Amino acid sequence: MAEVVSDTAVLELAGVSKTFDGVRVLHDVTLAVRPGEILGLIGENGSGKSTLIKILSGYHAPDPDARVVLGGRDVTASLGAGPVRTGMAFIHQDLALVHSMTVLENLRIARFTTGFGGRIRWAEERRRIRPYLDQVGLGVHPDTRVGDLSVTEQALVAIARGLADISEGENHRLLVLDEPTAYLPHDGVERLFGVLRGLSEHGTSIVFVSHRLDEVRTLCDRVVVLRGGELVGVVDAGDSTEAGLLELMLGRPSEELYPDQATPAGEPLLSVQDLAGGAVQELSFTARPGEIVGFAGLPGSGYDDVPYLVAGARPARSGRLTLNGSSADLATLTPRAGIGLGIALLPADRAVSGCAPNLTVTENLTLPTLAAFARFLVLSRGKERRAALEQSARFGISPREPGLVLRFLSGGNQQKVLLAKWMLGEPRVLALHEPTQGVDVGAKREIFAHLSAAAEAGAAALISTVEHEDLARLCTRVHVLRAGRCVRVLERAQLSPGRVAQAVYAS
């Protein structure tokens, strides 16, 4: 109960730093979480947020001289050795629930009480979890399969499990929620916030990690801002403004947006109308030859579904694509038909959907255009090798040894191979998701140069990425998505990393 809670902090961090391979990703963070408080934690990608959470969850050990006190006990020594289970529970974005199992099984899997002969005492188990379900306002029967629940209810199950996991003897309770709202619908977010407020009124402390400044301001008591591994501010949420938080996060004043420019005239090469699919609710856009169109947004906003939907890799619910005069229904478009139209897809998950790492560079390069290397059914190895050597030279693939198995190449060179593979088919539209993920700076520059060259030659490119700087540097135009819809279009003259970030984080 709020009134009996003591004044001492539930969690205290003092001088917490973390260095990976000589690179300091977290620098001297000092911070206290008060009992019954909802503390927001915000920061850009790479600000050290995830590292801090991983230290708290016991996954990483902090650098020496740090001190972490939890519920009055110094737990520093035990960090890095696995989960810390003293009055603290973590709810991650993916929730980590087993969908085919029941609510009861998900809550109690590791700690069933058993009776004679190891029999699970189901009735007692149901009684035991009831209070936790009540605390999160879940009226579902404990025997309901988690997969049958709504996304919001699943999030609440994860929170109930977190509460149940906190051992009952503890005099404090701390929940850490990592981006819990990314995949929740609007009314689900409100329901979740109601539950969290109720828990905090009854003395549970909550650390709420989020990208969404409006949510953080609505829900939290105080907001902690991380930038470049340092704690740059602790702000009372009531006194904060979105612009102020953004400035703390980005380290520079937020820029005024110029009025939207009139789009230059010219026939579009690609036009997508009323696209819905994945997290995308409704999106229309066009791309003229030579244009590089960017898509940005928070996780769950749908920005990262666009390349896959346009290329037919994932079926859309609806949408129409017109490319160079031919038209296709995006609900039925297959990758094969997409390639036929001239669309090439470079997925983010290189090892699984991008390439066959156990096959050679040549084999990976020629896969989509294999028919061009066969005469009367016979594959010409010589012709394949010549094309592979030519592409290796053109794209600067190193080592220039097309017979090498692809997995022996660096990430950057693998990505160049995949770009080269699609360029062999001379695509009209390149759809890319995180094209420079796991790629070193040099390769990144080369990949961008090839993209620009392809655009200058008359192709169009679509890029979804979290790298706002890349978007600002490369794109003709950037669409910013929120909850599946385009909320802002930034034209070339208005593009800067800060403006993209501002449009992404602020509502």
Which residues are bridge partners to 206 per DSSP? Answer: 38, 175
Structure-token pair, residue 439? 């790629």
Stretch that binds other proteins, among 80-88, 151-159, 263-271, 367-375 (CB under 8 A): 367-375
Among positions 367, 449, 453, 457, the unique one binding other proteins when judged by CB under 8 A: 367
How many Å apart are CA 78 and CA 335, to the nearest integer? 50
Site mask for other proteins (CB under 8 A), range 373-412, x = bound: xx--xxx---------------------------------
Q: Does 335 participate in binding other proteins (rule CB under 8 A)?
A: yes
Quote the crossing angle between the two packed helices 122-135 and 186-201, to the nearest 10°. Answer: 100
Rg (CA), the chain: 26
Q: Does 19 participate in binding other proteins (rule CB under 8 A)?
A: no
Among positions 84, 339, 409, 420, the unique one binding other proteins when judged by CB under 8 A: 339
Stretch that binds other proteins, among 160-168, 345-353, 385-393, 482-490 (CB under 8 A): 345-353
How many Å apart are CA 466 and CA 297, to the nearest integer? 8
What's the closest the beta carbon of residue 53 comes to other proteins, in angstroms?
A: 31
Q: Does 347 participate in binding other proteins (rule CB under 8 A)?
A: yes
**C-beta of 158 vs 333, nearer to other proteins:** 333
Q: Does 163 participate in binding other proteins (rule CB under 8 A)?
A: no
Among positions 15, 233, 368, 497, the unique one binding other proteins when judged by CB under 8 A: 368
**C-beta of 372 vs 483, nearer to other proteins:** 372
CA nearest 11: which of 157, 224, 186?
Answer: 224
Q: Which residue has the tokens 């802002």?
A: 488
What's the closest the beta carbon of residue 397 comes to other proteins, in angstroms?
A: 18
DSSP E strands: which ranges in 350-434?
A: 374-375, 378-379, 429-433
**C-beta of 110 vs 377, nearer to other proteins:** 377
Q: Read off φ and ψ for residue 35, nearest 5 degrees.
A: -60, 135
Q: Does 332 participate in binding other proteins (rule CB under 8 A)?
A: no
What's the closest the beta carbon of residue 406 comes to other proteins, in angstroms?
A: 10
How many Å apart are CA 302 and CA 305, to the nearest integer? 5
8 Å CB contact between 176 and 89: yes
**C-beta of 243 vs 379, nearer to other proteins:** 379
**C-beta of 373 vs 395, nearer to other proteins:** 373
Structure-token pair, residue 11? 């969690």
Size of the site for other proteins (CB under 8 A): 27
What's the closest the beta carbon of residue 118 comes to other proteins, in angstroms?
A: 29
CA nearest 421: which of 388, 398, 448?
Answer: 388
Query: Which amino acid would we find at residue 75?
Result: V
Stretch that binds other proteins, among 73-81, 299-307, 355-363, 479-487 (CB under 8 A): 355-363
What's the closest the beta carbon of residue 68 comes to other proteins, in angstroms?
A: 41
**From its phi and psi, is residue 203 left (phi > 0), alpha (psi between -120 and 50) or beta?**
left
**HEC sequence for 308-373:** HHHHCCCCCCEEEEEECCEEEECCCCCHHHHHHHCEEEECCCHHHHHCCCCCEHHHHHHHHHHHHH
- Whole-angstrom CA distances from 215 to 41, 195, 389 are 11, 14, 53
What's the closest the beta carbon of residue 403 comes to other proteins, in angstroms?
A: 9
Helices (H) and strands (E) in the chain, counts: 15, 22
8 Å CB contact between 43 and 212: no
What's the closest the beta carbon of residue 159 comes to other proteins, in angstroms?
A: 32
Question: For residue 32, how far is the Cα from the chain centroid?
Answer: 28
What's the closest the beta carbon of residue 95 comes to other proteins, in angstroms?
A: 24
Q: Read off φ and ψ for residue 23, nearest 5 degrees.
A: -100, 120
Q: Does 370 participate in binding other proteins (rule CB under 8 A)?
A: yes
Q: Does 354 participate in binding other proteins (rule CB under 8 A)?
A: yes
Site mask for other proteins (CB under 8 A), range 262-301, x = bound: ----------------------------------------
Stretch that binds other proteins, among 15-23, 111-119, 295-303, 357-365 (CB under 8 A): 357-365
Q: Does 463 participate in binding other proteins (rule CB under 8 A)?
A: no
What's the closest the beta carbon of residue 324 comes to other proteins, in angstroms?
A: 18
Q: Which residues bind other proteins (CB under 8 A)?
A: 311, 313, 335-336, 338-340, 345, 347, 352-356, 358-359, 363, 366-368, 370-371, 373-374, 377-379
